[in-house]
């Protein structure tokens, strides 16, 4: 059945799951060629193009999906993310706004919209958006816990020492609010801006970071995970083995982090160490990734599912 679009789409989806992104793209392109109205194929094609960093093609595919499925908020969510990645900020915010109009309590859209608004220094709008989304849920709902995490943001650029103090106080208050909430989450919210920019303030961060660690461990039990074999751990050299060292990042690709880490991966003494490069599920596939992978003794890509990732790392 060489014109059966659903078969090409399903094959492309499975190939994407296996990491065969280029071939997945080819199969999904065949699917939309044979059936341009097959929304699922446009979605899968967009995902493949996005992973391959083919921005224009990904945007076209997401936009087509939205036209075919205008009531599906997920389409606006993915379209908004792609638009922001293409530096089309206003269009991204419009896509998120359209998505929230379809589903006012959508936490994924809210989180991404907050990320864009904070990047644009529209922090007041970000807080108002979170208030509006929170109003969709009763007190005590687990969604309120996610929204409390999304309040943990700090703008990248400050215009004065007073502004720095204001936002550090905001962060501390957001942590106290989060600590007072009941409940636990199976995994962190999809987008957490968190404490990255605290380090830019030239002020002591220890107390804030210890408080953050305490609160995160309270609501995210997986952060307290200890691999079962740790209790019986002995030094590898006592077992006649090399010390295994893993380097894990989402950015072992054309990114500063890859450049900074490459020397360690290349130069650690292989008579003493076994070096593993570990990619997250959203890591880019490009030439720089191939280079650092070639320097390692082993390469691992962990699942986007946190428990599965923890199990893989523990092994």
The residues that bridge with 277 in the sheet, in sequence order, are 247, 299
Closest CA to 55 of 12, 23, 85: 85
The encoded tokens of residue 90 equal 């206003």
The encoded tokens of residue 135 equal 């109003």
Contact 314, 303 (CB under 8 A): no
Largest CA distance in the chain: 68
- Check residue 190 and give its pLDDT: 63
Tens digit of pLDDT for each residue in 162-202?
999 999 999 999 999 999 998 888 877 766 667 888 999 99
Q: How many residues does the chain have?
A: 315
The encoded tokens of residue 228 equal 């079962």
Q: Give the torsion sign (CA, 81, 257, 120, 57).
A: negative
The encoded tokens of residue 231 equal 């209790």
Q: pLDDT-derived band of residue 103, with 50, 70 and 90 as boundaries?
A: very high
* 3-state SS assignment for residue 205: coil
* 3-state SS assignment for residue 279: strand
Whether the pTM exceeds 0.75: the reply is yes
List Cβ neighbours of 13 (8 Å cut-off, separation of 6 or more): 24, 28, 44
Tens digit of pLDDT for each residue in 152-168?
998 888 899 999 999 99
Q: What average pLDDT does this structure show over 52-70?
A: 95
Listed range (91-100, 164-173, 185-194, 282-291) with the worst mean pLDDT:
185-194
List Cβ neighbours of 256 (8 Å cut-off, separation of 6 or more): none
The encoded tokens of residue 294 equal 């070639």
* 3-state SS assignment for residue 311: helix
List Cβ neighbours of 167 (8 Å cut-off, separation of 6 or more): 154, 155, 158
Q: What are phi and psi of 275, to 5 degrees?
A: -110, 125
Closest CA to 25 of 54, 66, 68, 67: 54
């Amino acid at each position: 059945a060489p014109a059966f679009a659903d078969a090409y789409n399903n094959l492309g989806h499975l190939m994407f799951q296996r990491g065969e992104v280029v071939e997945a793209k080819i199969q999904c392109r065949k699917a939309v060629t044979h059936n341009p109205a097959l929304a699922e194929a446009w979605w899968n094609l967009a995902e493949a193009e996005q992973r391959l960093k083919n921005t224009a093609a990904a945007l076209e595919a997401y936009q087509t999906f939205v036209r075919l499925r205008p009531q599906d908020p997920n389409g606006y969510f993915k379209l908004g993310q792609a638009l922001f990645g293409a530096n089309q900020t206003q269009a991204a915010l419009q896509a998120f706004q359209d998505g929230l109009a379809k589903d006012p309590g959508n936490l994924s859209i809210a989180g991404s919209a907050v990320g864009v608004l904070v990047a644009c220094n529209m922090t007041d709008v970000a807080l108002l958006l979170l208030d509006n989304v929170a109003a969709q849920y009763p007190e005590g709902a687990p969604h309120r816990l996610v929204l409390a995490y999304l309040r943990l943001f700090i703008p990248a650029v400050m215009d004065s020492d007073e502004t720095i103090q204001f936002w550090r106080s905001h962060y501390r208050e957001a942590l106290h609010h989060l600590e007072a909430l009941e409940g636990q989450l199976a995994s962190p919210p999809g987008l957490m801006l968190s404490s990255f920019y605290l380090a830019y303030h030239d002020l002591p961060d220890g107390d804030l970071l210890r408080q953050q660690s305490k609160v995160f461990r309270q609501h995210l039990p997986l952060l307290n995970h200890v691999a079962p074999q740790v209790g019986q751990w002995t030094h590898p050299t006592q077992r006649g083995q090399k010390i295994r060292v893993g380097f894990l990042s989402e950015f072992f690709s054309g990114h500063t982090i890859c450049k900074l880490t490459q020397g360690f991966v290349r130069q650690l003494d292989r008579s003493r160490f076994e070096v593993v490069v570990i990619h997250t599920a959203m890591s880019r596939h490009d030439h720089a990734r191939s280079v650092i992978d070639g320097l390692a003794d082993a390469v691992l890509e962990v699942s986007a599912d946190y428990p599965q990732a923890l199990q893989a790392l523990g092994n």
